[in-house]
Amino acid sequence: MAAWSFTMSSAFDTRAKAIEQGVDGIIAVTAGAGGHAGPLSPFVLVKEIRKEFDGAIILSGAMTSGGDILAAQAMGADLAYIGTRFIATVEANAVPEYKEMIVDSAAADVMYTPVFTGIHGNYLRGSIERAGLDPDALSRADTAEMDFSKRDKSAAKAWKDIWSAGQGIGNIDEVMAARSLVLRLEDEYRATAMGLTT
């Protein structure tokens, strides 16, 4: 299956190109997603894509529970793409401090900025501070001056020490095994669906 991922910061042209190329699916990265996130609500984006595309829509953005997966389907998405929640699992290849920061943080601790890559993304404020930077004093001009390769070995490096996270982190309260998380998501999905029919 060929899929195309884009955020709405790349606008309509990217979506049109993906559809024109005959992709089987589109990963729609919406507001609140970790890493390079788009600015649009999933309610808007999924409906706009569905008007022009009958393939699989995989929705990404701030989902942490089985109820969120059901909501994504109710909006018209076929699948949910969950990232940050799986970083806080035992098996994830992330340092323990990253996982702990996800558990200890809330949506207000996520910062949306283009400084680190030139493209807007969501990052944990705490990791920016740990890297020796002031999250409230960053600007686009800093991008040209930030050369992590020139820092000594103990200094922070982009992507390694400045960690991305989605806005759903306030709903993550523990690091758990991936299998246990999948089973929990399934239970939450079923419970939410049953709750809607009673």
Give the pLDDT mean for 36-47: 92
Per-residue pLDDT at 17: 86
User: How does the average pLDDT of the chain come out, rounded?
Assistant: 87
Class assignment of domain 3-82?
Answer: alpha beta
| C-alpha torsion angle, residues 129, 7, 83, 123 (rounded to 10) | 0
pLDDT digits over 155-184, tens only?
Answer: 556 568 899 999 999 999 999 999 999 999
List Cβ neighbours of 60 (8 Å cut-off, separation of 6 or more).
27, 28, 29, 30, 33, 80, 81, 82, 83
What span, in angstroms and rounded, lies between the C-alpha atoms of 88 and 96?
Answer: 9
Three-state secondary-structure class, residue 40: coil
pLDDT digits over 51-107, tens only?
Answer: 999 999 999 999 999 999 999 999 999 999 999 999 999 999 999 999 999 999 999
Confidence of residue 8 (pLDDT cuts 50, 70, 90): very low
All structural domains of the chain with their residue ranges: 3-82
